Amino acid sequence: MHDDLLKRHLELVIEANKTTNITRISTWEEGMLLHVEDSLVGLPEVMDAPAGRMADIGSGAGYPGIPLAIESGRQTLLADSVGKKTAILSSMVETLGLENVEVYTGRIEDLAREKPAAFTVVTARALAQLSILMELASPMLQEGGRLVCYKANVSDEELQHALSLQEQLGMKHVSDRTVTLGDNCRRIICFEKTGRPKIKLPRKVGMAQKRPL
């Protein structure tokens, strides 16, 4: 049953991609490996997080959010600021009949203001550097909640910078593992929300990217 849904989602993505550019992956084989299998690499980290709602930020074509929602059964919010993408996401969620999935159009900072500490898991795939993800996710997460970052190449500088901001952002590094997918590597880096950030979050929209901590 799950497999059928995962495949049906990929079919819908490939179909939608013909008219709207939502992914650069165009073949079935690539899609199965680099979207579906890749999304499920972080499933153990998602299952490890406390029970509760999950948010997939910068969800794009619904990866990793939709496969994770299908496999984990969690209430899931797919968030993206591009209306064209969220319109496609909404129609895919409806077609797939995923009753545990909602779609949010808007900036992450606004979502954090509207739903503070509403999530126990936040996932982000290929979205931004770790420190920015930590800043965006911190106000959305309940204490004990997890940020699951899907990364490709992470420099030591990027990781060290993220680690230096743990206390400031109320986040703690808890795990790091790398999986090989074909010729690609996927690294899953996980942080836990430990307490209140030392600074007021979220900052104004766009500040995390424009003026990183």
Relative to beta strand 141-151, strand 184-193 is antiparallel
Q: Judge whether residue 1 has pLDDT over 80.
A: no
Q: Judge whether residue 126 has pLDDT over 90.
A: no
Q: Is 150 annotated as a binding residue?
A: no
Q: Is 125 annotated as a binding residue?
A: yes
> At 146, which helix (H) or strand (E)?
strand 141-151
Q: What is the mean pLDDT of the chain?
A: 96
pLDDT at residue 156 in the model: 96
Q: Is 22 annotated as a binding residue?
A: no
pLDDT at residue 43 in the model: 98
Q: Judge whether residue 25 has pLDDT over 90.
A: no
Supply the CATH number for residue 204's domain. Answer: 3.40.50.150
Q: Is 145 annotated as a binding residue?
A: no
Count of domains for the chain = 1
Q: Is 109 annotated as a binding residue?
A: yes
pLDDT at residue 176 in the model: 98
- For residue 152, the enclosing domain spans 1-210
